[in-house]
Amino acid sequence: MPIANAWVFTETKFKAEEFLKNTHNAYRLVSQRPYANKKDPDEKGVMLTLAIAKDDTDYGNDKKTGHKRDNNILNTFDVTILNGIDRIDVQKGDYVRLIDFDQEKSFVIGFDLILRFKNVEKVNVQTK
């Protein structure tokens, strides 16, 4: 399921700092696969599908129903890590944090987010 209410984080660009802060920059790894840019073969990395574990964002109320909008906890999103490595040493279910958002190589097209970061690392997260 894609990020719900992504408009809160978008203008013509993705508000990465706000997104990372509101979601505590700790995501569960769902899957990973190698990435290579077809137009620029030197641009390589790994594409990750991540699940959002925390979300402090207030999305307000739905205008039609009046009910509070749901957060993004358990929703997934894709991100490309442009670090030249085609696999990270992290297992499915482990937590990672994203490092150094690449604004110039990231895009918002309609409601589609193409998010690129320069690195990622495994983190230890205390679960309840």
What's the pLDDT score for residue 9?
75
Q: Cα torsion at 60, 65, 71, 72 (round to 10°)? A: -130
For residue range 68-115, list pLDDT tens digits in order.
888 999 999 999 999 999 999 999 999 999 999 999 999 888 888 999
Residue 59 CA from chain centroid, whole number: 18
Residue 5 pLDDT grade (very low, low, confident, very high; cuts 50, 70, 90): confident
Mean pLDDT of 24-48: 94
Gap between the Cα atoms of 2 and 51, Å rounded: 10
Gap between the Cα atoms of 87 and 3, Å rounded: 24
What's the pLDDT score for residue 11?
56
pLDDT at 46 over 70: yes
Please tell me whether residue 104 adopts helix, strand or coil conformation.
helix
What's the pLDDT score for residue 12?
67
